[in-house]
Homo-oligomer: A and B are copies of this chain.
Amino acid sequence: MAAAAAVSISTASKALNDTGRMGSETRERVKRIAAEIGYRPNALARGLLSKRSFTIGLLTNDTYGRFTLPVMAGISDALVDHGVSVFLCAIEDDPALAQIHVDAMLDKQVDGIIATGKRLDRRLPVDLSNLHVPVVYAFTEGTQNSVSFRSDDEQGARLAVEWLVKIGRRRIAHITGPEDFFSVRERAGAYHEVAGHREPVLYGVWSESWGHEAVEQLWKRPGEKPDALFCGNDQIARGAVDALREHGVKVPQDVSVIGFDNWEIVAAQTRPPLTTVDMELKELGRQAGLTVLALAEGRPVEPGVRKLPCRLIVRQSCGGKAPTE
């Protein structure tokens, strides 16, 4: 630093880091002068020596940011206290682009990498398994012996269906996304388990229009109609609510509708606002961040898949009362 503080370069360092031996008045003086001139140590130089850059990389292929943003917020939230900054790298399922970003991050000596995606059962289009920095997977499929975090979709779905049962619904239908999604199968499994097989599962796509169409199909069928819809995501739920309204069916009086994801922009703007399942992605990001930090510091972390519980967000599309917490 400005050894212009009339002291040697090493004394300055020790003063600012509260290490070494020196007179307390010297230490104080150095600190004061450092503060005055606004001295801040160069993290590059420090990193060169300490082998820690206090930097991690976040790799994502989720362009919408639906999943990445909350995860990122959690990571950043957890790591900012430790002085760690985050490189965000959006690779759009482009292996070449991904490799460029990974190389750039490695050159910059990131302390670790968090890989995140938009789907639990897909890998990012780049191999991170043999890097010399720790890698943690969040909301995307990890590799053998890696640490990965994911939401517990089964528990989330159970939460939703149990809620519907609890408020007295019995004929619960499930409208959801494409069956090749792992989450879809998990959620459907929990649905079957809790609700029994009274109603079929309608697989489709993740859009409002599918939710709309699914309701058309259900209401076109003869016989008793469902008194509740458990939807695979909020967009489907929203389409369903719209369709119900057009049929003159009242939500939540006649039919309860529950979504999944708690995507505020969809869930809160639906009329009525959607009761839905929140995957706690921010918390997921927080844990992923702390984990990659632990690995970077050489602390041991058990490999494996960690499932984080979902939380039920009660709004008005189901009726019933919010649980007293």
Contact = CB atoms under 8 A, between A and B. Distances in A.
A73 interface: yes
A53 to B, nearest CB: 7
Contacts of A212: 271
Interface stretch (A24-32, A82-90, A138-146): A82-90
A101 B80 contact: yes
Interface in A75-119: 76, 80, 83, 85-90, 97, 100-101, 103-109
A242 to B, nearest CB: 8
A18 to B, nearest CB: 18
A106 B38 CA distance: 12
Nearest to A92: B73
A264 B66 CA distance: 12
B108 A90 contact: no
A6 interface: no
Interface in A28-58: 40-45, 47-48, 53-55, 57-58
Given A88-B86, A97-B80, A265-B266, A108 B40 contact: no
Contact of A40 (B47, B80, B83, B103): B103
B42 A48 contact: yes
Given A207-B269, A235-B269, A63 B55 contact: no
For this chain, the copies found in one complex come to 2
A312 interface: no
A72 interface: yes
A209 interface: yes
A88 to B, nearest CB: 4
B40 A265 contact: no
A154 interface: no
A165 to B, nearest CB: 30
A250 to B, nearest CB: 14
Contacts of A208: 269, 271
Given A63-B73, A101-B80, A87 B87 contact: yes
A65 interface: yes
Question: Which of A41, A48, A69, A105: most chain B CB closer than 10 A?
Answer: A69
B80 A100 contact: yes
A223 to B, nearest CB: 28
Contacts of A104: 54, 80, 83, 85
A259 B232 CA distance: 28
A30 to B, nearest CB: 18
Contacts of A41: 107
15 contacts: A41-B107, A43-B109, A44-B47, A44-B53, A44-B108, A45-B48, A54-B104, A72-B90, A73-B90, A76-B90, A85-B87, A85-B101, A87-B88, A209-B271, A212-B271
Given A43-B107, A58-B88, 6 more contacts: A45-B48, A65-B69, A69-B69, A85-B104, A87-B87, A235-B269
Interface of A: 40-45, 47-48, 53-55, 57-58, 63-65, 69, 72-73, 76, 80, 83, 85-90, 97, 100-101, 103-109, 207-209, 212, 235, 242, 264-266, 269, 271
